[in-house]
Amino acid sequence: MPLHIHTPLIESRPLSLSAGRPVWLKLEALQPCGSFKLRGVGHACETHHARGARHFVSSSGGNAGLAVAYAGRQLGVAVTVVVPETTSARAIELLRLEDARVVVHGASWQEANAHAQTLLGPDDAFIHPFDDPLLWAGHASMVDEVAAAGFKPDAVVLSVGGGGLLSGVVEGLQRNGWGDVPVLAVETEGAASLHAAMAAGHTVELAGIASVATSLGAKRVAERALACTREQPVYSHLVSDREALLACERLLHEHRLLVEPACGAALALLERPDALQAYGNVLVIVCGGATATLAQIRAWLGQ
């Protein structure tokens, strides 16, 4: 049995009415550790475990690290997560709840990640948050579930950080014979690394990240993510932090689900009728995120 669960696919009546077309939600927020990350990370951890890995190492203080911690606990494999000093107390608490050893090291993710690499022994597996074919193969299972439900969307809306989710969804679309289905790839304006790569024709490193959607804060997307935009119709969209936050509030109000601004970014596209004009049934990947609190979202909104 895989570590992730089969998530519900629901048609949102309120979001369909306001978007003027059927809006379907794939509720990845309901995965045991709160985000879609468990699909890919779970698959990677199971594969490394079967190959004899005795220790998993991650340098993500966010949902990827949390998924590694969860997978390790389920598989009986020790997990170390190295996080920078900027990591929130909430994120560290969630990692410890999953029995991970948390090492706080360095002022930035780069420093934490460099330290994590030095901890790797011969029987250890490093689990990357977005740039690994094992992750993409695992993420692709969400599309298999949609196909198994007998539902073919006219467009898929998702958020992009480092592009692991995009790469996985495109893999899933392709392996189900849906290479024609457009993907609307949404980033916040201050974390637009896919947008920059598509504009430049090659991946580029952003000078910095300026967005409350911290789970989208990869300065450079995976090469595979850019390659996906050449194999599949992929359209890049940018939303403001405020739009992402308002979409989080709206999802909570309409569907009683609290998600991170990283997920709100994708949902915010539903408020842009022009972006959806060409499509009938729209499928939104509600990617989730465990580090969101209502108090934080309201504080960011200035309420």
Give helix then strand counts, H and E, for the chain.
Answer: 14, 10
Q: What does DSSP assign to residue 92? A: H
Q: Which of 143, 169, 198, 216 binds ligand PLP (CB under 6 A)?
A: 216
From candidates 69, 81, 83, 218, binder to ligand PLP by CB under 6 A: 218
- Nearest-10 Cα torsion for 217, 111, 198, 283: -40
- The verdict on 267 binding ligand PLP (CB under 6 A) reads no
Does the footprint of ligand PLP cover residue 138 (CB under 6 A)?
A: no
Is residue 55 within 8 A of residue 78, CB to CB? The reply is yes
Count of residues engaged in binding ligand PLP, rule: CB under 6 A: 22
| Nearer to ligand PLP (CB atom), residue 169 or residue 276 | 169
By beta-carbon proximity to ligand PLP, the closer residue of 12 and 63 is: 63
x/- letters, 11..50, toward ligand PLP (CB under 6 A): ------------------------x-x-------------
Q: What part of residues 104-123 is at the interface with ligand PLP (CB under 6 A)? A: none
Q: Tell the smallest beta-carbon distance from residue 54 to ligand PLP (Å).
A: 26
Give me the helices (H) in 89-192, please: 89-97, 109-118, 133-139, 141-148, 164-175
Q: Which stretch binds ligand PLP (CB under 6 A): 70-78, 101-109, 260-268, 293-301?
A: 260-268
CB 15 within 8 A of CB 257: no
63-75 and 89-97 helices, crossing angle to 10°: 10
The answer to the question of residue 159 lying near ligand PLP (CB under 6 A) is yes
Supply φ then ψ for residue 244, to 5 degrees: -65, -40
Of 253, 158, 272, 298, nearest to 215 by C-alpha is 158
- The only residue of 61, 153, 164, 264 in contact with ligand PLP, by rule CB under 6 A: 164
Residue 26 and residue 30: Cα distance in Å, rounded?
A: 9
Which of the ranges 13-21, 85-93, 163-171, 246-254 carries the binding residues for ligand PLP, by CB under 6 A?
163-171
Q: Which of 292, 301, 269 is nearest to 90 (CA)?
A: 292
CA–CA separation, 64 vs 292, rounded Å? Answer: 14
- Binding pattern for the stretch 169-208 against ligand PLP, x by CB under 6 A and - elsewhere: ----------------------------------------
In whole angstroms, how close is the CB of 31 to ligand PLP at the nearest point? 10
x/- mask, ligand PLP, residues 62-101, rule CB under 6 A, reads: xx--------------------------------------
Contact 259, 251 (CB under 8 A): yes
User: What value, to the nearest 5°, has the Cα angle with vertex 219 and ends 159 and 175?
Assistant: 45
51: Cβ contacts below 8 Å, ≥ 6 apart: none
**Min. distance of Cβ 122 from ligand PLP in angstroms?**
28
Sites of contact with ligand PLP (CB under 6 A): 35, 37, 62-63, 130, 159-166, 215-216, 218, 260, 262-263, 287-289
